[in-house]
Structure 1
Amino acid sequence: MQTIDFYMVDAFSDRTFGGNAAAVCPLTEWLPDEVLLKMAQQHNQSETAFFVRNDSGFELRWFTTQSEINLCGHATLAAAHVIFEYLDYPDTAIRFTTRFVGELKVTRNGDWLTLDFPAWSTEAVANPPALLLTTLGIAAAKEVRVGRDYLVVLENQAQVEALQPDIAGMVPLGKMVCVTAPGESVDFVSRFFCPGESVPEDPVTGSAHSMLIPYWGEKQGKQVMQARQVSARGGDLRCEWRGDRVLIGGQATLYLMGKVFLRDVTGG
């Protein structure tokens, strides 16, 4: 039987039940992918972060209940929180190697952790799919762009907060949908919808800010911005645009600590 430490962390929040919950499991060596997926399914969180220590820091992977994914901000923040707070890590910066987006760095300054992520560009969509607007329940958008996800820009924060989308109806779009607008007390706000995934609306989406920060940085002529994801749980992010990189800052709060017991499982 193999015993693995287990943590559940509310990322992008300084309080319990805020931000976005992620499961985190430190490993001594990689388990077979099918075991990692089964563990993520058993945890039943939007993402589980797994990491293994290596010569330069840690190798990091993220699994949803359906598959491995290429990038996850809140689970990276959660993994860094566990390393800094509970694994006696002495430095103020962590280097993660990843399989899809290269090296990621997380730095610590007091209670705030800052993700150093790639910046993602988006392109304007002149004729957005009618399904996109109808499933969002809106007649028109100020702008629609597309990159990894759809980026739908509305006039104001109240419009973003009022959305009651048909998320199941979005499945044929084949992409996630991020809706954003200028904020009232922050520079911009957003919500993030996940058609076809186990979590219909992601509470706080670090990776979406890889495209939100360059977009709003250019629109507002700013490099440093404050953002809030206005989901039911909500989360606050400190943002900085640095050309082909973005810095995404947030806090994290431990909710649960325990042990996973794996029987009849071998490393691979």
Structure 2
Amino acid sequence: MKVYIVDAFTDVPFRGNPAAVCLVEHEWDEAMMQHIASEMNLSETAFVHVDAVWEEGAQHPLGLRWFTPEVEVDLCGHATLATAHVLRQCGIVSGDRVSFETKSGILHAAYKESGGQCEITLDFPASSLMPVEDEALRVRLEEALGCSVHEVLRSRIELMAIVDSEQTVRSLEPNWEQLKACDQEAIGVLVTARAGESAHDGIDFVSRCFFPALGVNEDPVTGSAHCTMGPYWGAKLGKLSLTGRQCSAREGVVKLELHQERVYLTGTAVTIMDGKFTFS
């Protein structure tokens, strides 16, 4: 099985979010995929089912699944971007689009050459948010994050905490055990603020994303989280086109276009390693 390590949402090696992409030519073996993801020990490993060159208009999308070192997840933005990048690089996809069959439905990726680079745009579902009125939960979040939280909202699977400034986002040092125990219904916590100094770079909002319940304390750049944060900041700022910066140690930038119930995420990727698994 061929495997690639790709840095997503960056055009510079060792930045953005690394993902492993495995090209699967046979039937899925869930136990083996989980073993491989644990061995890779990246926030996500993607497994894409390829048995032929894919052409736009093909009747069947390519099967795609994502695993953290501990569990399978329903949606992952950066590993989808990395997968689309690898398929184009390897010549498996030669057209301008590719489609994937996933646990979150059919997802599409489009390619566009820009300035000597290939930009990839993902068509993802937008996440809806509900305000959280539970004062005890807000207090638990503040204790776990070590900062004041102005507003707490909930998506289907995550909590989102609004804080006062970009500097607060950058300086967070969460207590992982407390954060993991904050809410048993959420798989992670997104912390976000309107851009401060990053606004000079055309950034609209900043964030950091924590998923200790999935075995990933901090995800460097989380594409799917922008399907939650993007609509929120779009409404707050009155914009349909936004740019987010995730302020992890590796950092990364995600461009967004909001269109009704969809979010279009655009970024680039860099392959830094390729090889194959030698087990039989």
TM-score scaled to structure 2, two decimals? 0.89
Partner of 1:125: 132
Structure 1 distance, partners of 2:110, 2:268, is: 12
> Aligned with 1:196: secondary structure?
helix
Structure 1, residues 89-116: CA drift from partner, whole Å, max 9, x if none? Answer: 2111110111x21110011112211110
Give the Cα separation in 2 of the matches to 1:25 and 1:126. Answer: 42
The residue aligned with 2:77 is 73
The match for 1:224 is 241
Query: SS of the residue aligned with 2:34?
Result: helix
**1:9–1:78 CA contact under 8 A, matched in 2:** yes
Equivalent position to 1:17, from 14, 19, 22: 14
Which letter does structure 2 place at the counterpart of 1:67?
V
Measured against aligned partners, the alpha-carbon deviations of 1:182-208 in whole angstroms (never above 9, x if no partner) come to 113211111001123332110000110
Structure-1 separation of matches of 2:257 and 2:98: 19
Give the equivalent residue in structure 2 for 1:26.
Answer: 23
Verify the 8 A CA contact 1:168 1:196 in the aligned structure 2.
no
* Count of aligned pairs between the two proteins: 258
- Residue 99 (structure 2) aligns with: 95
Gap regions ≥5 residues in structure 1? 264-268
Give the drift of 1:261: 1.6
Take 2:279 and 2:164, find their aligned partners in 1: how far apart are those partners? 50
1:183 maps to 2:192: no
Match of 2:218 among 169, 194, 201: 201
* Distance in 2 (alpha carbons) for counterparts of 1:21 and 1:96: 20
Is the Cα contact below 8 Å between 1:240 and 1:247 reproduced in 2? yes
Q: Which structure would you say has the larger RCO, counting Cα contacts within 8 Å and 6 or more residues apart?
A: 1
Partner Cα distance (1:103, 1:31) in 2: 18
CA-to-partner distance for each residue in 1:196-224, whole Å, 9 max, x for gaps? 33321100001101111111111111100
**What is residue 46 of structure 1 aligned with on the other side?**
43
- 2:26 and 2:236 mapped to 1: Cα distance? 45
CA contact (8 A) 1:120 1:211 kept: yes
Secondary structure at 2:110's aligned position in 1? strand
- State the partner residue of 1:266: none
Letter in 2 for 1:109: K
**After TM superposition, what 4+ stretches of structure 1 lie above 6 angstroms from structure 2?**
none
Q: 1:37 aligns with which of 34, 38, 50?
A: 34
From 83, 101, 123, the equivalent of 1:116 is 123
Question: Which residue of the other structure, out of 85, 90, 97, is the alignment partner of 1:86?
Answer: 90
Aligned to 1:106: 109
Residue 250 of structure 2, aligned match among 225, 233, 239: 233
Q: Which moved more, 1:248-257 or 1:122-131?
A: 122-131
SS in 2 for 1:95: strand
- Unaligned runs of 5+ residues in structure 2 are 52-58
Q: Is the 8 A contact 2:141 2:149 kept in 1?
A: no
The aligned counterpart of 1:260 is 277
* Alpha-carbon distance, 1:39 to partner: 1.1
2:214 alignment partner, SS class: coil
Question: Which letter does structure 1 place at the counterpart of 2:192?
Answer: T
> For the residues of structure 2 that align with 1:177 and 1:141, how far apart are their CA atoms?
12
In the alignment, which residue of structure 1 is the partner of 2:160? Answer: 151
Local SS of the residue matching 1:79: helix
What is the rounded CA distance, in whole Å, between the counterparts of 1:116 and 1:72 in structure 2? 12
The one-character-per-residue Cα deviations of 1:137-160 (angstroms, maximum 9, x if unpaired) are: 01x322110112110011221111
Residue aligning to 2:65: 61
Q: Is the 8 A contact 1:238 1:249 kept in 2?
A: yes
Q: Give the aligned CA root-mean-square deviation in angstroms.
A: 1.3
